[in-house]
Amino acid sequence: MEKNLEEIFQDKIDREIRIEPKDWMPEKYRQTLIRQISQHAHSEIVGMLPEGNWITRAPNLRRKSILLAKVQDEAGHGLYLYSAAETLGISRDEMYEQLHSGKAKYSSIFNYPTLSWADMGAIGWLVDGAAIMNQVPLCRSSFGPYARAMVRVCKEESFHQRQGFEILLTLSKGSEAQRRMAQDAIDRWWWPSVMMFGPKDDESPNSLLSMKWKIKRFSNDELRQKFVDICAEQVKILGLTLPDPDLKWNEERGHYDFGAINWDEFWQVVQGNGPCNKERLGARKKAWEDGAWVREAANAYAEKRKNRQSVNAA
């Protein structure tokens, strides 16, 4: 019987029929999705921190309003994704607990510090650019609630990348110091962004199953190549450079060749030894603990309002 269910399931996947929460699914599919979606949600939430760092210091009101809206979107994206994960049977509190205990991961990119205003530009252009590259195919992911959340996320994300590029473009046309600041931000964010696509295909054990189940549609290396190709062209508009001496157009492949990735750094950051891992997790835990009274007060207020309504009704 079990075998039969699994065949029906795979047949639906192959025919591009979306899987919905109450449909039968292999336990491993459920667990893979819970891990991936919650990790994605945590990334949105932790991802607010590096940019939140600059809201009060944005150079003008226009930039400040934009940055506020972007960070608010990220909170929203986290919430869409948490609720998609909850349809698979995990509670919100369990997910928070996994984040706070370090059991669940989030994207390593957010463990790097934001040192200058130009970092807001580099994050928008490169980090959000890489995220979009990953996320667009997820809009066709086989699990319905995840795909629907991603459609919403992608619609909103496009302004994030554009505002980032605009920041860099403005700086690139500014004073010499401003150009240097923009170049420095690109130099620091480029390689971590390239790493955002995850380990090389032959070292990514979960990828094969995720492709078979159409949770993922493209491999890490395919998406990474696409990202490099696009950025190598876009950086020319800024009149700046990407920090890779091996970056070169390869006529034969029809792609840019690029230099070796420092995988040791990647794994160090994943394992918690990046520049800001402790600070980021500390900030999340503090927000959760300091927010306890708000959660309790809302419950108390809801109770009071309910009682008042029943008195009025009587």
Partner 1 sequence: MSTTKSEWPLWEIFIRSRQGLDHKHVGSLHAADAQMAIENARDVYTRRMEGVSIWVVESRHIHASNPAEAGALYDPANDKAYRHPTFYDLPDELKHM
Distance of CA 28 to the CA centre of its chain: 23
**Crossing angle of helices 61-86/48-55, nearest 10°?**
160
**What Å distances lie between residue 255 and 138, 247, 258, CA to CA?**
24, 10, 9
24 belongs to the binding site for partner 1 (CB under 8 A): yes
Q: Which of 6, 156, 187, 222 binds partner 1 (CB under 8 A)?
A: 156
143 belongs to the binding site for partner 1 (CB under 8 A): no
Binding part of the chain for partner 1, among 55-63, 69-77, 136-144, 230-238 by CB under 8 A, reads 69-77
Q: Distance between CA atoms of 171 and 178, rounded to whole angstroms? A: 5
Amino acid (1-letter code) at residue 289:
E
- Of 83 and 204, which CB lies nearer to partner 1 in the complex structure? 83
Q: From the CB of 128, what's the least distance to partner 1, in Å? A: 17
Q: Distance between CA atoms of 265 and 263, rounded to whole angstroms? A: 5
86 belongs to the binding site for partner 1 (CB under 8 A): yes
17 belongs to the binding site for partner 1 (CB under 8 A): no
Q: Distance between CA atoms of 18 and 186, rounded to whole angstroms? A: 39
Q: Which of 100, 200, 226, 255 binds partner 1 (CB under 8 A)?
A: 100
271 belongs to the binding site for partner 1 (CB under 8 A): no
| β-pair partners for 255 | 250
Sign of the Cα pseudo-torsion (189, 193, 195, 196, in order): positive
Q: Which of 18, 26, 53, 83 binds partner 1 (CB under 8 A)?
A: 83
Binding part of the chain for partner 1, among 80-88, 108-116, 176-184, 193-201 by CB under 8 A, reads 80-88
76 belongs to the binding site for partner 1 (CB under 8 A): yes
Q: From the CB of 221, what's the least distance to partner 1, in Å? A: 33
**Crossing angle of helices 48-55/27-46, nearest 10°?**
10
Q: What is the DSSP letter of 198?
A: -
Q: From the CB of 254, what's the least distance to partner 1, in Å? A: 38
- Rounded to 5°, angle at Cα 74 from 69 and 75: 95
Length of the chain equals 314
- Of 132 and 169, which CB lies nearer to partner 1 in the complex structure? 132
Interacting residues with partner 1 between 203 and 242 (CB under 8 A): none
- Of 84 and 231, which CB lies nearer to partner 1 in the complex structure? 84
Sign of the Cα pseudo-torsion (182, 185, 187, 193, in order): negative
* Element holding 248 (H helix, E strand): strand 248-250
Q: From the CB of 54, what's the least distance to partner 1, in Å? A: 21
Q: Which residues bind partner 1 (CB under 8 A)?
A: 20, 22-24, 69, 72-73, 76, 79-80, 83-84, 86, 91-94, 97, 100, 148-149, 152, 156, 288, 292, 295-296, 298-299, 301-302, 305-306
